[in-house]
Amino acid sequence: MRIIHCAPFNVVTKLGAALYSNPVKISHGFIENGHYVHNFDYRDAARYYSFFNSKKNGARKMNQLFLECIETIQPELVIFGHAELIYEETFHLLKRKNIKLILWYNDMVVENHLKNCGYLFDLVFATGAGDILKRFKAFNPNAFFLPNPVNINMEKHQAFTREQPYDLLFTGRKDEQRKHFIELIKMNLPDIKTHILGQTDETTLLGEEYFQFICNTKICLNHNRDMYMNNQWYTSDRLMHILGNGSFCLSRPIIGGEDFFEDKLEYYNDFEEMHSKLLYFLDHPDERIQKAQWLHKKVHELFNTKRISKYIIDVLQQNTQQLEHYEWWE
């Protein structure tokens, strides 16, 4: 199949540092399944065509360029990631050409753009189920769960084989909830070798440097925000970065996580529980490493890019017998 993947690849803005992002992985998975994929970075294109480097100001020219790309490649499928700068009239033009349209979405806040245009897609995917899918189905009944993928050539490390010099790693964008949690870490863990990343421009690491911090740390936190935690199976793709590279993770609870991870992924509800489990697993390295190995193998079996992209095509083609083999299919 000939596919255009219109998504934020951050080719220019991050200069390859987003090698582990979902857009890159999804495209890679389609290629692994034998499809041709042309990546179109709509955000970088919009910035490029704006005198002031503004995505909004460059959107019209970007939409024109995108339609030229459609005419040149003549795809059978266009898959969009977020697509908040793509005009509704552009979607209508694609529909009139009988091109299949898929949207995937990895934020848990339904934007107005999505509400207005969501009905135009043949399929919609979100990286959470439960409440968020109910909201998606209100404007498109063909909405389904999409796991965050991993790739053995991107998450290529086996951290459980290393000597890890750091004890604890916290990564995540700054907000009031995380700010309070970080303050508790700083005040109460003076003897723990800790790194906190992502709170400022100076502490935001990307690309392989970010992966090396994960691999060199005994315990990495997956601190999902409270507002997203009522969505079944939802987690930040950070979890795949940690488990896919073979490091040990302590995570905020994931509704239905045992469907994939059995009892191997350790949860914490608050700082006190995190602190208790942190000390326990620092003192029990054999158990920590055993769980990290099991989870590393599991995520690469269940959520590898080839399998996730095959799942998208199976849903599109309504391959009922194949869909029954996916652990998250309902």
45-101 residue pLDDT tens = 999 988 777 888 999 999 999 999 999 999 999 999 999 999 999 999 999 999 999
For residue 328, being part of any structural domain is answered with no
Answer yes or no: do 70 and 126 share one domain.
Answer: yes
For residues 308 and 188, state if they share a domain: no
Q: Does 188 share its domain with 95?
A: no
- 164, 295: one domain: yes
pTM to 2 decimals? 0.95
Indicate the average pLDDT of the chain: 94
224 and 275 in a single domain? The answer is yes
| CA 226 to each of CA 133, 176, 230, 253, 276: distance values in angstroms, whole numbers, following the listed order | 18, 11, 8, 10, 20
Position 90 in a domain:
yes
Q: For position 86, which CATH number holds?
A: 3.40.50.2000
112 and 166 fall within a common domain: no
Claim to verify: residue 72 and residue 98 sit in the same structural domain: yes
Same domain, 74 and 36: yes
| CA nearest neighbour of 100 among 274, 292, 255, 317 | 317
Q: Is the pLDDT of residue 17 over 70?
A: no
Query: Rounded distance, CA 114 to CA 43, Å?
Result: 16
If asked whether residues 220 and 312 sit together in one domain, one would say no
**Within a domain: residue 329?**
no
The answer to whether residues 49 and 145 belong to one domain is yes
Based on the structure, what is the number of domains in the chain? Answer: 2
Q: Residue 51: what pLDDT?
A: 76
For residue 98, the tally of other CB atoms under 10 A from its CB is 7
For tokens 């024109």, the residue is: 64
Residue 154 lies in a domain: no
Its domain, for residue 170, covers 159-302
Let me know whether 297 and 279 are in one domain.
yes
With contact defined as beta carbons under 8 Å apart, do 51 and 330 qualify? no
- In the chain, the N- to C-terminal Cα span, in Å, equals 26
**Number of neighbours of residue 105 by Cβ within 10 angstroms:** 23
pLDDT tens readout for residues 148-185: 999 999 999 999 999 999 999 999 877 777 889 999 99
